[in-house]
Structure formats: structure tokens, C-alpha cells
Structure 1
Amino acid sequence: MKQIRKIWINIDPFSLQSRLTIGIATFSALILGSLATWISWEMQQILVDSQKYNIEQIAKRLPQDVQIYSEMMQPETGLQKAINNLANTNILLWLKNPDNKIIVKSATLDLLSDTTVAELMSLTKMPIKPQVYKINQRYFVLCSTSVQVQGKVLGELFVVKDISREQKMFVATVQNLGITTILAIIILTAAIALYIKHSLQPLRQLNQMASVISAEDLGQSHLSVDNAPSEVKELAQTLTMLLSRLSQSWQQEREFVSNVSHELRTPLTIVHGYLQSVLRRQNNLTPTQQEALETAASEAERTIRLLQDLLDLARADNGYLYFQMKSYVLNDLVEEVVIMAKKYSDRIIKIEPKLDRIEVKADYNRLKQVLLNLIDNAIKYSEADTPIVLKLNQIQEQAILEVCDKGYGIPLQHQARIFERFYRVDESRSHTTGGCGLGLSIVKTLIEGMGGSVSVQSKLGEGSTFTISLPTHSSSI
């Protein structure tokens, strides 16, 4: 039962498999249901027609028997004798004259209950169509015809046949037919579902292969499905060509960013150098000129950092970002970074060190860049009177470093995208703080390049915690 419930929960009513199964099963149910209904109706008609034929034969035979008996006895006695001979426990007869009075009736009619006889008699007061009538849980076929003897109309003959046994057998047959039809629909639906599931398997394989393709794999990706229909193979070929075009476009974009960043960085560095040189000889500058040159130098420096970040990301994308991996004591590195950060800010930056030394294998300069980026973020997005705390810990073979602040926090809907390039939670605040949306992307790229991972936990108004996980030196040996 639990397995069936689990399968039922996993069924997607909007999937192609479900729609095809429901559509074909519904169509099959309509066809089989219509066929079963038609067969039941035909069986009913055959039953009625066969009984009607028997009654008509009785009606044809009665005048002949009456004529024979009339030659040997009184006509009324002969008529009664002929009716009694034709009647039995299942066949009932009576004859009405033109004045609608019963002239003669079979003795078997007295075997029925008064209510049954009354209802049968009431049916003879209206035009009778040969069909099955249900009276008091019994089934009868009623038919009438006029009787003529020697050209004289004696009256209207009513013949009733009790077909309760045949009708019950018919009802049982119809019930069995209905059960068989339902079972056939269930089995057919299951077979259709399995066949459709098997037929859609190449599409699932194609989906699984496409889902694991990353930006780095676009150029080498080749989608192919064995034993698949021609349409699926054509779809795989089309997707392969699409991936190839995407790879070319992606590569062109990377090369463009790398080339532009490289070409712009050199002249901007020269411009920044000239601006710094002029600012050092500021004796001949007015306050307005000095302010303008300082702004220009600051913006030039900011742009150079942006171009350097773009170059690092471009090299990482192309696989040209190399790391000088060596063993370092994480405690010492963190203390050095905190001392550097304190020189450039007046914020309180504290370390909650682990007493034991934690050795990691990393690129020293890259890891410093990561920590400075995270501390710089914490400074920008928290109040000046709140401290920034760095926590060190080791869990099994992973070194854990947390950078915590008591700042504004990051909305939950933005936390999943905070490490994307050029993604900024608050555009207006980014302009005031000088952010361009690449810092955290650089952090993620560098940490993952050193075999680690980075994540964020944040609540609005309570601050954010960025957690870096790096393999320890013992785990990398």
C-alpha cells in the first residue's frame, strides 16, 4: 500500500506520459464500454425476439387446434382445450372478445398471485410492444394477436411467457461482461502506461544528458540516444548543434571580456600613474583641481580593480587561472589579513581563533584576496559601531572560516544568487558603496579553484555570515 501511495504521489498529471496514458485509456474505455453496452442491448433484443417468435408460433397454432377440437366438441370447450394444451407453467394465455371481456384463460394463470395477474391485465389495456416487463421481481414477455376461426374473429389472444430464469441468466451475463470490461480497461491502461513509459525513455535519457552539461562542457557535448525513434534522434542532433553554437558564442564572449579587460587595464594604469604623480606635486593645484584629480584617480583605481576581477574570471573560465598550492597555517594568515584590514578602516575586527593550529593547502595570495573581499563587504554593509568577527574551526578534515557581521542582512530570495556575476541586492546602495557585483563571484571562483566551498547565511536586520570551507593539509596529502 505504501509503495502504491508513493508511486501515486510521484505521478505528474501534467507530464506527457500521464496525458497520453489518460487520453488513450479514456478512449479505450469509451470504445470498450460502448461495445459492452451494444452487446448487452443486442442480447436483450435476441432474448425478446426469440420469445416473441415462440409466442407468435403459439398464436398461429391456436386457431388450428381450435378448429380441430371444435369438430369433436363444443366450440367453447374446444377453445379451452386448445388453450390448456398450449399453456404450461411458463406460458400463460387468455382470450378477450371484442367487448374486452375474457372469454377463456389457461389454468396456469391461477397459479400467479392476484397482484401479478392484475398488473398483467393492466398491461393489456394499452398497445403492447413485445418486450421484457418486470412485475413483482419476475420477468415476463407479453404479446398479443387476433384469433380467427373459419373467417370469424374470436377475439384478442394474449400470450405471456415467464422468462425470469432466462432474464436472471441474462443479468448475470451482463454483470460478468461489465466486470470483464472493467478488468480489460485496467489491464489495457496498465499496458498502455508501460508502453508509453518505455517509448518516452529516450526523451528521459536525453533530458538527463542535457541536465548535466555545464558551461565548460558545451564544446565537447554530444547528445545521442541509441534505439530511439527517428524524431528523438533528430531532436538530439538539433540540441547538439545548438550546444555547439552556444559554446562558440560563450567562447567569443569570454575572449571579448578578456581582450577588452587586458587592453583597457594598461592605459588606465598609465592614466592612474600620471594622476598620482600630479597629485604628489599638488603645490600648484587649486582645491577644486585637487578634488577633481583625486576623484579621477579614485575612479581609475576602481576601474582597474574591476578589470583585474574580469581578467581573473575570464582566466578561470578558460582554465588559465593557476594556483600556487602550498601548506599554510590558517590562524596566521587570518591574523595577517585582520591587521591589514584594520590599517585601512577604523572598524572593530575580532578573531575567535581555535586554540589548535589549522593547516590548509591553499594559494596564500588568493586566500588573502578572498578574506579581504569578505571583510570589505562586511565593512560596507554594516554599521560603523558594530564589530566584524572571524571564527576559525575544524570539522573532521575541513577547515571552517566564518566572516560574521551585524549588518543589514540579505533577503532570502537574493541569497541563492548572491555569488552570481554583477548581481547586486540593492542597486542604489551598490553605487554608494562602490560595488560592481563581482567581489563575491571572485570569492566563489577562487575558493572553488582551491578545492573548497563558500556559502552564506543571513537574516534581515541581524547580519550575514559567510562560511568558507577548505580541505585541511592532512586531507590533501
Structure 2
Amino acid sequence: MSRKNKQSFFWGIRHMAIARKITLLYSGIFTFSILVISFFMTINITGIQQHIIRRELTITISNIDAYLQQGKSLNNDALRDLLDNKYVEVNVYSKKENAYYFSHFGEEPLLMQLRETNFPPSEGIFAKKDDFYDQGQQTLAQDEFKISVQKEKVENCTEYILENNNRQQIMLISTVIPTQGGQYQVEAYKLIGINSNFLRGFIAKLATVNVIGILCAFLIGWYISQRMLRPVEAIRAAAERITIEDLSQRINTDGPDDEMKELTVTFNSMIDRLESSFQRQNQFISDASHELRTPISVIQGYANLINRWGKSDPDILQEAIDSILSETEHMSALIRKLLFLAKGDQNRMLVQKKLVSLNEIAGEVVKELEVLEVNRKIVFEEKDKAEIWGDPDLIKQLLWIHAENALKYTKDGDLITLRVWKDKKNAFVSVGDNGAGISKVHLSKIFDRFYRVDQSRNKGISGTGLGLSIAKWIADSHFGHILVESTEGEGTTFTNVFALSGKMKKEGEESRKF
């Protein structure tokens, strides 16, 4: 195979469909295995036949031994009656009687002629092994027979494989059987010849079985590959049906708890996250558009008012300017918050952490509230000294978000309380008030973006609904969380929980992006 053809072949395998790859792999392994087994069966068929013949010869000798041990007289007819296998030939020499007994009919077989030529009757067939090696091999060689294998099986028992130039083989087992009537030399032998018809039939049957097995392997491999890849096909079909407008498609997860089910569950989970993300994004865009539309509409309305009548009326002009400035400030604050959350979502917000004291940050917020003369009673309680690893500016912004909400929803003269304490693992800083409170219906949604509690009741309270979303992001970026306790009509307390700093980390600031 040329290099170009090899590259084309491997390119085709590499770009083949997975179902075909699995089919080829399964059927290829099965085909290779069955061909290897068939090859070894074919080349070992002689060994198998030798094992069978050896067993037949051993049984025959055992039968003769049992017969002689009973003291019965031996003759050719009795010897032939002792044979279970008609293809086994036996020659027996009685040393006491100096007589030969044969199991065959008619003319003497070749082996006995060779033995008689080389071994005088007085010495017996195998009276001397050296004679068998020397004189016997000379005569065997004249007839193109030679000893190819010789094995000492047990005491007084020897196995020979005789072979001629035509590849014909004979297995012969020779032994001595001692009895009360004397010793008997026994040799049992049989032609080791694989019948050509038998061999052709065996190979034909083996080839037929192999072809059927390989065909079944391909069919089973194809079925297995289709069954294994069915969840993948379902994922592909579902992915084709999924669009931005329709993220409701899911894949059935019924079936065994295998890797394919895990893949299906993972795919459905991914689509769930995408659907939730798109819903939040759409809601965010809708809410942002709505929040920006209101100040723009107000500014546009006052601009038209100035254009029509405000040029000559100082009171209308001043009212329009004040409203435009107010809405511009509101829109500017909204845009800043949107940009803050956008950077946080994109992991572009730089968080510069260092060892900070919650007591100091909470104290700064308390002082600033007092300077503003907010007409509220501000109480600061420091139960413990608490230090965390965090960004002081973001932590201060977090507390100010809670403080601004407390100012919005409490009346003049009400109480706003900041507390700092700690336990063995965490530091706590809370901002509480005794204002309007939040009903249980709204508690689970107050951290959603643009969500405002009972907007009809709080029309006079300014806000964008983004403050608590920013507060949650800051807490998450410091691996903390916010607890909310509120009773409608009695007040609300936001408790921020952070891990204690533990051992002092290396000096300086540590920067991390979220």
C-alpha cells in the first residue's frame, strides 16, 4: 500500500461516523479472535488426533493387561476380541512360548515384518532397546520410516512416532506386561493419518461457522452502536430544535444509569441554565429599558415645556431645569449601577482584598450618616473586633446600600442600628431599622434586579431596584452571604456574614477579579 493510499485510508477511518467505528471495532475484534481460534484449531488438529489415538492405544493395552492377569491363554482370535477400536493394531510376543500373536487378518503388517527381520525370535520384538534403535532403524530407513519422536511414558512403557518421506505417521506404544505365566511384549499402534475428506469437511464447516459468526458480529455491532448512540442522536435532534425563542426542549432521561444517561442529564442541566440565563437577560433588558424610558420621557416632556412656554416664564423654566437635573442624576445613578453589574457578570470587576476591620468600616458609615443629619437615631454596637480579608471600598458600599434602604423606609426619629460581632468561624455586620418591613411574599425576590416591594405603595420613594442585587454580588465576591429578617410594619435587619481572616496573609494587597 502506497503512502498516499495509507494516508487516505487512515483519513477515512478518522472521519468515519462513530456508529461505523464502533461496528468496525466490535466486528474486527470478534473476527480477529475467531480467525485466531480457527487457525490454532487447524494447526493443532494433529495434536488433538494424537491425544485421541494415545488414549485409544492406552485403553487397548489396559484391556490386554487385564486379560492376561486373569491367567487366560492368548491367541489371535482372543486378541482381536479384546480390541474396542478396529483401527488399532496390536502385536504381542510371549517370551515363554516364543510365539507371536497378531490382531490383523491376512498378510502381516509392515511393522511386524520389519521387526522379524531385525529381531530374532529368541530375543523378542523389543527384547533389547539398543537393537531397536540400531538394527530396527536401519530396516525402517530402507522403507523410508524413521523414528521422529520417542517418549518414555511410564515404567516399561515407551511411545514412538514413526514417519516416512510421504509424511505418513504411525503412533506406537510398547510395554512389557509381567504375569505368572511369563512376560509379554505388547506393542499397540495406529496410523496417524488425517483423512483428506475429513480435513476438507472440517475446514469447510469451520469456514462456514466463521463466515456466519463474522456476519452476526457485524449485525450485532451495528445494533449495539445504534443503541449506544441513541441518546447522542436524541441530544443532536434536541439541539436542532432548540432556539433562543424556544429553550423548553428536553431529552427523556429514562433508561439505565450509565454514562449516556449522565450525558443526557448534563445536557438537560445545561439547557436549564441557558433558559434561566436568557430569561434573566430578557427580564434585565426589559426592566432596564423601562427604568431608562421614564427619566428620558420626563426630560423630553420638560424640554418641550421649555420650548413652548418656559422661555418667557422664569418659574416654568426653573421647574423644568430642576426636574431635568433630578432625572439626569437618577439616570446617571442607574447607568452606574448597570455598568457595575455588567462588569460583575463579565468577571471584569477588580476586587482588591486586604485585611480590613469591619468595626472601622461600619464606624465610618455611622459618622457619615450623622454628618448628613438624616433625622434618624443612629446606634452603633461593637460586641467584638472582627477582621476579614476583603475590599474595604466594596464592603463600605455594601453597608451603604443597606443604610440607604433603612433611610428610605423609616420615618424621622426612627432607629437605625449597626452591629458588629463574630463567632469562631465568621464575622457579622448588620444594619437594622424599625421601618415599614417586608412581607414574606417578597423576601425571596428582593435580591432580583429591578425588583421593588409594592411599587404602588412606595411611589414617593426613589430607587432603581438594583441596590440589593449589587449588595448580593459584593457578598458573593467575598465568599459571604446576606441574611434577612423582616416583619411587616416592624422593621428589617440585613446581616452580612463573612469568614474571619484567620492567620495573617502576606502583607500588601491581594487582587482578584470577579
On whether the aligned pair clears a TM of 0.5, the verdict is no
Give the TM-score taking structure 2 as reference length.
Answer: 0.41
Greater per-residue helix proportion = 1
Give the TM-score taking structure 1 as reference length.
Answer: 0.43
